[in-house]
Structure 1
Amino acid sequence: MNNTTPTLAHALNQAHTLGLARIDAQLLLLHAVGRPDAGRAWLLAHDTDAMDETVHAQFIALCQRRLAGEPVAYLTGRKEFYGLPLQVDARVLDPRPDTETLVDWALEVIAPQTSPRVVDLGTGSGAIALALQSQRADAQVLAVDASADALAVAQANGERLGLPVRFQRGDWLQGVDGLFDAIVSNPPYIASADPHLAALQHEPLQALASGSDGLDDIRTIVAQAPAHLQPGGWLLLEHGYDQSQPVQALLTAQGFDNVQSRTDLAGIARCSGGQWPTVK
């Protein structure tokens, strides 16, 4: 083994040799060298920069934790969602880019409203609620989660970003007052026996799994929502890649109109929703 001081380029090559995806290695390296906002272009411009041995050792340790399944967002403590820099850790789900589909749809349905009232159920890091508030300053956004730990993360994100989302601890819509123009949720939707859960062992199980078919929480939300929606209000739900038909069926059976689904970045039906009738 030689004693030459490693450069940033050497470190990235080591990560590649270990089997790490390039984007993951770049994000972890920017974090390790204390330049999380610098971007990949900065790494290219500084690829011959020498690394402190301690920092290099920390980077390799981060790479090994990533290879063991820990999300990059937990290792760096940050994740960008809808243009917002969120702080995240193992108390909350790592926000996925596909969930931006739900935000886009929610912004569409509240577009005609003045000061729309929106509730985000199971807010986790606060990603959806904060994204909606950032795009609609006039909206009254409430974020609900059953986990005090998750709410602590979400509230800290709201305070740091200066966004006036209100936070409430609760089990879905129980204890939530008033009527809303939109109810949005990215609830747990993985079947409890799904083999994919093993790959998500670092994330909070209660935010992922929901009964034998993965639809227990969605059933609860669909049943509770009508009592909390304005006439013409929308319920929008993120769900699994193969759940659009059963979720649409639940919405239709509950009496929702205009039941439909939206696709994610990969073209998979990832969100389904419906509109509560104006006249029943």
Structure 2
Amino acid sequence: MTATYDTLLRDTATALSAAGIDNVRFEARLLLARAAGLSVEQLVARGADAAPAPAVAGLRELTARRIRREPMAYILGEREFWGLPFQVSPAVLVPRPDSETVIEAALSLMPERTRPWRLLDLGVGSGCLLLTLLREYPDAMGTGLDLSEAALAVARRNAQALGVAERVRLVLGDWRLPGWEEALAGPFDLVVSNPPYIEAEAIDRLMPEVARFEPREALDGGPDGLAAYRRIAASASSLIAPGGRLLVEGGEGQAPEISKIFGAAGLAVGTSWKDLAGIERVVSAQQ
């Protein structure tokens, strides 16, 4: 007997729950919608209908990937950020709501939306920070740096899809190498970054979706998780224009140490910004 959409939804949710996954009904619905080529609303309307064989086979494959704890964003190929759709792949970190705090801080500190700001994103990844800012600042120009060509390819696709490709320059480079900042043609009015900030030895203890699937080079912040902030601080004088701002995301409990690093580099450290959970998520500084 052919399974109905409702039966498939129930069985998928059960399988996900057994794998230790939360929000199983929600995720099962997304997986079934993708496998069937239907919207969630259409699934509800057709719940009692028999599902075609290709949809059943497709759902089986997608469910197996999720049970292995592959992130939903990689399975679906996209994730929403600041209300915008971003394509993602295993070459980039999955955009997270915590990072929207960077956007909130930028818009608060730089309220003049029509200024021709020069923006820089260090570790651009999917482009969620830089491209969102370019949407918010329609006359701004942006540069994004990443050490992964595969990540830059994702950012290029997102720039095209979001209509900002003509205002963005994406650069392949590694801030661990001497002279890395020379290719960026600074200085910039605003530098943003969500750099690697996980202590190297702690990565394998993270949730499986992160530890097994997200790019390690985008997570590994060195022995104390702060290596990237030291590199950014050391190059701040050539990256940030006089009066320009620096906004970086950090992990829980890291804001005081990041602030010390920036202060020692001669930057004027400003207010830290909390995310929705009340964690000091973003450190601000000014040249």
- Give me the TM-score of the superposition, normalised by structure 1: 0.90
- Greater Cα offset, 125-134 or 47-56: 47-56
Displacement of 1:179 after TM fit? 1.4
Match of 1:254 among 259, 265, 269: 265
Displacement of 1:178 after TM fit? 2.1
List gaps (5 residues or longer) in structure 1.
Answer: none
* Number of equivalent positions: 270
The answer to whether the Cα contact below 8 Å between 1:248 and 1:260 also exists between their aligned partners in 2 is no
Match of 2:29 among 16, 26, 29: 26
2:102 aligned with 1:95:
no
Displacement of 1:47 after TM fit? 2.4
Q: RMSD value over aligned CA atoms? A: 1.8
- Aligned-partner Cα distance in 1 for 2:80–2:4: 27
- Other-structure match for 2:191: 183
The answer to whether the Cα contact below 8 Å between 1:251 and 1:259 also exists between their aligned partners in 2 is no
Work out the percentage of aligned pairs sharing the same amino acid.
40
- Other-structure match for 1:143: 144
Please show how residues 121-200 of structure 1 align to structure 2 within 5 Å: 121-163=122-164, 164=166, 165-172=168-175, 174-175=181-182, 176-194=184-202, 195-197=204-206, 199=208, 200=210
Structure in which a larger fraction of residues adopt helix: 2
- Other-structure match for 1:273: 284
- Aligned-partner Cα distance in 2 for 1:53–1:72: 23
Q: Deviations over 1:99-136 (max 9, x none)?
A: 11111212222323711111011011111111111111
Displacement of 1:66 after TM fit? 1.2
- Aligned-partner Cα distance in 1 for 2:143–2:48: 48
- Greater Cα offset, 90-99 or 22-31: 22-31
Matched AA of 2:205: H
- Greater Cα offset, 111-120 or 44-53: 44-53
The answer to whether the Cα contact below 8 Å between 1:251 and 1:273 also exists between their aligned partners in 2 is no
Displacement of 1:42 after TM fit? 4.2
**Structure 1 runs of 4+ with >6 Å offset:** none
Displacement of 1:154 after TM fit? 0.7
Matched AA of 1:75: I
- Give me the TM-score of the superposition, normalised by structure 2: 0.88
Matched AA of 1:224: S
The answer to whether the Cα contact below 8 Å between 2:262 and 2:269 also exists between their aligned partners in 1 is no
- Aligned-partner Cα distance in 2 for 1:222–1:25: 44
- Aligned-partner Cα distance in 1 for 2:126–2:161: 13
Determine helix, strand or coil for the equivalent of 1:144. Answer: strand
- Other-structure match for 1:214: 225
Q: Structure 1 residues 73 and 268 mapped into 2: Cα distance closer, same or farther (>3 Å)?
A: same
Displacement of 1:96 after TM fit? 1.1
Matched AA of 2:163: G
